[in-house]
Structure 1
């Protein structure tokens, strides 16, 4: 839900790359089982190449994730402030994301609750037409209140609303999630490295047996069985 607040192609690219890597791991694992069952050198070599490509994608995901963390620190403050000032009253997805963020983070505004005073929302709810019906100003949205209830945002006292902004909470939350993604991708890359070593070892041993032993049909079958047993 908070993803609606992140105006960055890198965020979307990281998500797409995660799905691509997941699909690639499934395809590579299936091709590896097939290559071993067929006992063909070319298939084993192809499997090694596919594992290597998958590992490179996982390392690319680690790099993209780290770069996006730095991007968050530099740009998220402006992005969140613009969501509050401009988009809260214009887009439902942004409104829902801000509502969720404020409730989970126990916060109000980007850097402080005063950010709402510059927003389009504040101008609308405190317009002359609205004040004729309500007879009091609203300082912040109701989801900024410590105990949310209708029109509770009229009183901007620290006992009633949160004074601290949501920026620090949002950065911390996104960093934790991105570090989990990066760490998982790195762990899979290490596992893929062992897979490459195993495939190369199997390919090399089978090639040696085929080069230095008779290549009759019956002997080749025995060689295949010997290679698979030795590995």
Structure 2
């Protein structure tokens, strides 16, 4: 159900929410599969398919490993599908690749202005991603919204992983807000389920990632084209 108390804090996912997933991450997915396959093109195709991505079209299945998994989960899945690495080795490689990918990411909108506007209205703001914390901070720095964040959590920040509630509860502890004063905004069901399990006031899905209205309908209170439509539902 939509929030009955005013929303005072907003916790955003990163990839597919603040960043356009197709433009930002499909090229990275091809590269990570190539690296994980050590250049073996046929194995790279197998690894992409295991991650939930069509190697020809680039389409990523909603809630698949590449859509919603954290680095360890993606590495585990690819090692299981034949990547000639240990999970620990591949996790380290992927973490480095993902942190560098911030330099090539494509934002959904002018993120500095977007966050500045929300900050000026008094919202507490955070980012919770299945990516590593370094990558989130690199992204925030590159796009000029780091000074507006009250909280950052990656899979490796100690708050647990999605869809568990820990990242939301960490945001609440950092900001002094109750869960029902928080909106979680994301592009897949891991985000929505994280919010629901924490008891947030509102779950908001966006369509700039891998999810669809159909795949997200059951777990979100609102489904928006992108984050630029967010303020309209926050103030309803």
TM-score range, shorter chain: under 0.3
Asked which structure has the greater CA Rg, the reply is 1
TM-score (norm 2): 0.22
TM-score (norm 1): 0.22
Higher share in strand: 2
